[in-house]
Structure 1
Amino acid sequence: MDSSQAVQALSALAHDTRLALFRMLVERGPDGLAAGVIAERLGMPPSSLTFHVQHLHRAGLITQRRLGRQLIYAADFTAMNGLVGYLTENCCGQDSAICAPACRPEAAGVAARPGQRSA
């Protein structure tokens, strides 16, 4: 990820609604959520949702796919990890092992024990 992509991603996330939407999609994992479900959970009309998802989509942070008549949105974990990697690139004197967080959605089905984070 380069600096212009990072700025675009951070700009898209710099809004309460979009940040809440993105976090909801990250929590949901690679399956994503239907637009109607997102709008209902965020308590907003579909036209407002469209405005916000387009910002995140243009920034490359979410994907969109059609399933029948529904639009399904999901977090793009590669882009998210790229942004976190860009932000932490020179962390801790470039010892990336110390502060290299990564989200592995394929491991989402493995529940952590209380008090522990899942891998």
Structure 2
Amino acid sequence: MRRALCVALPLMALTWALPAFAGSYLDRAGLLVSHARKEADYLRARLSDKELAEVVQAQAEARLGAARRMQVPKQVAAAHPHLLMMLEHYERAAAAAVRGATNEFFKKQLAAREEERVLRGVLKQLGWSLPDP
């Protein structure tokens, strides 16, 4: 009986920790998604401000780097590539704004929004969702 309890207790803790780990991933991903979208929207209204575009691009690069280094739980692993692609589109949109390529900025921002839609759809199929900002 004692041995069974010693084996069962860590397994119970592990099953409780796995959803928490997925929850942590979703919190981190949600933060990255909401900040990327807000910054791109902010920049869109001020595309002529090159210095602002440089700041937004630097932050977009940092977000993308953080997402690449994130630990991804297997429960949501199928969604992570879509997070990376979305963040890449936002970074490329900001880079286009730095160069003054407004048409490219709009295309990349639209692509990022579409990729966010795909990300949310994949998460929904897996039984998860991003938290509201």
Q: TM-score, normalised by structure 2?
A: 0.27
Bigger share in strand: 1
Structure index of larger Rg = 2
What is the TM-score of this pair, normalised by structure 1?
A: 0.30
Higher relative contact order (CA 8 A, sep 6+): 2
Higher helix share: 2
